[in-house]
Amino acid sequence: MIRNSKIYDIKGISHYSSLQNYSDYQPIQVGNFSIDTEGEFVQCDSSAFPRLNSLKLPLDLNEGYDPSYIDQAYHDETTFPQSEKVLKWIHKSKIGYQSLSDADVITQRGLLKDIGYTNHNNFKNPWKFEVCKLNKKLYMRKPDNEGDDGDAWCIQNTYWGRKFESSILNQKPGIKSSYTMLKGRIGNKNVLLSAEIDAISSKGKFIEIKTCFPNKFRNKVPFTWLQSYLGRVDTLYFGMKDKHGLITSEPSRVPMAHVVGKYLKVQEANAMFGFLHDVIDCIFTSIPDANETWVLEYKGSNNLTLTKSPEKYLPIWYEEFLNSTEENELIGKVKTLRLKHPAK
């Protein structure tokens, strides 16, 4: 078994575009949860999701900014990471217990977005994730946040994004953040993933909220597409800011159905999912079935590496939960959610 080595050579986009059609990923919504203002896990329905308010223009995104600003969402992710929230949902809800039975991969959409976008990132931004395979199921998570939030410009832009969200969202009292749980198929694997919800429309459709510089719009839409498509988002909602942090025009709305073909080539969209499919299959065959932590890393080169870490991956309480019921009992006790696989 490998201990620290290169496990995967990255190929060209044309190779991956033939492995899976992006439209084959048809996620179904299997549950929701929220985190309240006290940091506690709460079961919820879609009524807990934020709604859009009308935007009062002009909007100065610098209002209230302090150079010592700390992104609370970044801090919260360190103390209560999304990966652990997913395990709590599986443990605490009947539908979570049920959804685990036929899942092959348990993860979060932001992680899949970073992996899937690897071949399309001109800046070759590195990434690093932790993985574990137990009971023939692959768990994938982001490692604990390391270091600070970035340089001064990065911190200010993060504040601008949070300011824009707080200016247009009507959040339910007592709720800090809300998530939906989705199950979709990537390659031959059923993937159970969490996605934080920015907002929901009056028709129950998910909305992804971003800020953007006008000259970066055509690049930002494709980058935002993968994360949003994984999370079953219906509409992209962009606040167009200038270099001083001012928004003077109505936000731009982009239906997700219009992105592929207009902003993103079909071949590129297919390649993102083909790459995800291939990498997930590679991890499955490369690590043992045990509660071990392996670090999957991309350093900006043309390969991925896998390194064994000494820590166990899953917390004791979750492993005890898994061991309390045999797999055949789990399937027998609770009716399994089966996916309708798209026709080829």
Partners of 9 in the β-ladder: 303
**Which residue type, as a one-letter code, is found at position 217?**
F
The phi and psi torsions of 106 (rounded to 5 degrees) equal -120, 120
- Quote the pLDDT of residue 94: 85
Q: How far apart are CA 230 and CA 27, in angstroms?
A: 8
- For the segment 332-342, the average pLDDT, to the nearest whole number, is 40
- Quote the pLDDT of residue 323: 86
Rg, Å, the chain Cα set? 20
- Quote the pLDDT of residue 69: 82
**pTM across the whole model:** 0.91
Q: How far apart are CA 287 and CA 306, in angstroms?
A: 9
- For the segment 91-119, the average pLDDT, to the nearest whole number, is 94
Strand (E) or helix (H) holding 179: strand 175-186
Strand (E) or helix (H) holding 137: strand 137-141
> How does pLDDT run across 242-265, given as a tens digit for each residue?
999 999 999 999 999 999 999 999
Least confident window among 66-80, 100-114, 128-142: 66-80
- Quote the pLDDT of residue 151: 84
Structure token digits, residue 48? 């807990």
